[in-house]
Amino acid sequence: MAVTTTPSAATDRFWLLRVTKEYWFLVTLLTSLALSGVYMVVFHVTPWDTYRQIEMRRNRVALHDRIGQRLLESGQYGLAIAEFDRALALDALDDPARAGRYLAELFIALPQPTWDAVVWSAERDALLQLAGTRDQAIDHIVEKYLGDVELRIGNLDQAAGHYERALAAKPDYPDALYAYGWYYYSSKPDIARMEALFRKMTAADQYDYRGFHGLGYALYMRALAATSSDQAIALLREAAQQSQRASNLRTAQLNVMVDFGEVARAVFPQVSQFFHEEAMKLLDDPETSKLSQVTDILDARLLRSPDDRHVYIRTNNDRHAWVRYELALDHLAESRSIDNIEHGRAERAEHDRLFAEARKLDASGDMLNIYQDQLKILDQFNPPRTDSTKF
């Protein structure tokens, strides 16, 4: 006969302890879930928040990388470094930011007086290897830098090859279009190629004043070489339109402001006057007058000189005299473009005043050579009036 025993009341008092001991893992899990639930209710979080934070961090890193690369492609190297630094602050091992920052520093160092070809020689193999990788994010930027270096040391054909490869990798790369466009002005003159490259640049980025500057100057050069007066005026009008398109795109680049005015003077003297007054503000402002874009030595080519003469604008007085001469010519052009006799006389008087101020600043007379060269161009396309309203 089987005999069974029933747990006594004393034994039953320990059932919870016995269950806890036998199912400790389940109790631990339930306790953890309960505490997690309380935590989520109190602090308004979910189990997915950590993953969301990681994803947000990745997205922010990628955003800074994209902005940095875009700035790098636009030639804004200092701003690009700032964006790459923001990416690296979030992820110190972010390869695109590290590579982009390194390239931006190389671009900044290249035009400096302290740049040494020996340093370039040491970097060359590594950069060539980097350019040969399949990393399409920076391949075109490396090629553009290699082109800039070859251009600086006078290897023109090699420079062109690198620019071609940069644009083959990214046809709308603004900084490469800019550098290659001016290559066909200064290094191997081909104004048709220059115009084509800057047209691509203005189409690629309508907020980059450099495209309008280059295109306007290419059209201006075509106008100076035109054999037909009608064709020349049409080209000048299109060149002046580039200045108008850039009028709201602010820049502290002194030579660019003067060029925008120069190309517009013969057909739209008021546009020319606007840019040259802006250039004067750059010189007069205590902050902008110290910028390298304003104080750099400039090389002015005399476009009507038979022996392709150049004048160097070196000193503060040179810059002030130069811009005053340009403004004087703007007022002279305006006096030739209007029928109101009193207005015309006032414009001519303003020309005379600015010319006198410029002559006082121009002790060497070098800046006067620029004035006389520009006057020849003005006389060709907007000659002195010969009618009864001559001022």
pTM strictly above 0.75: yes
Q: Is residue 246 part of a domain?
A: yes
Q: Is residue 112 part of a domain?
A: no
Count of domains for the chain = 1
Q: Identify the segments of the chain with pLDDT beneath 70.
A: 1-27, 29, 39-51, 54, 128-136, 387-391
pLDDT given for residue 250 in this prediction:
83
SS (H, E, C) 118-167: HHHHHHHHHHHHHHCCCCCCCHHHHHHHHHHHHHHCCCHHHHHHHHHHHH
* Closest C-alpha among 315, 317, 252 to residue 281: 252
Could you tell me how far CA 156 lies from the centroid of its own chain? 23
What is the pairing mode between strands 310-313 and 298-301? antiparallel
pLDDT given for residue 99 in this prediction:
86
- Which alpha helices (DSSP H) does 153-268 contain, by range? 156-169, 174-186, 191-204, 209-225, 229-245, 254-264
Q: What angle do CA 225, 278, 383 make, to 5 degrees?
A: 35
pLDDT given for residue 6 in this prediction:
53
- The Cα–Cα gap between 371 and 294 comes to 20
pLDDT given for residue 16 in this prediction:
59
Q: Is residue 5 part of a domain?
A: no
Q: Is residue 241 part of a domain?
A: yes
Q: Is residue 367 part of a domain?
A: yes
pLDDT given for residue 55 in this prediction:
74
pLDDT given for residue 45 in this prediction:
56
Q: Is residue 42 part of a domain?
A: no
- Alpha-carbon distance values, 132 to 117, 137, 138, 169, 363 (Å): 22, 12, 10, 12, 54
User: Is there a contact between 222 and 202 (Cβ–Cβ < 8 Å)?
Assistant: no
3-state secondary structure of 311: strand
Residue type, 288: T
Tell me how far apart the terminal alpha carbons of the chain are, to the nearest angstrom: 142
Q: Is residue 379 part of a domain?
A: yes
pLDDT given for residue 209 in this prediction:
96
pLDDT given for residue 7 in this prediction:
52
- The Cα–Cα gap between 200 and 177 comes to 8
The residue segments making up the domain with residue 352 are 206-391
pLDDT given for residue 274 in this prediction:
97
- The Cα–Cα gap between 86 and 378 comes to 51
pLDDT given for residue 336 in this prediction:
94
Q: Is residue 236 part of a domain?
A: yes
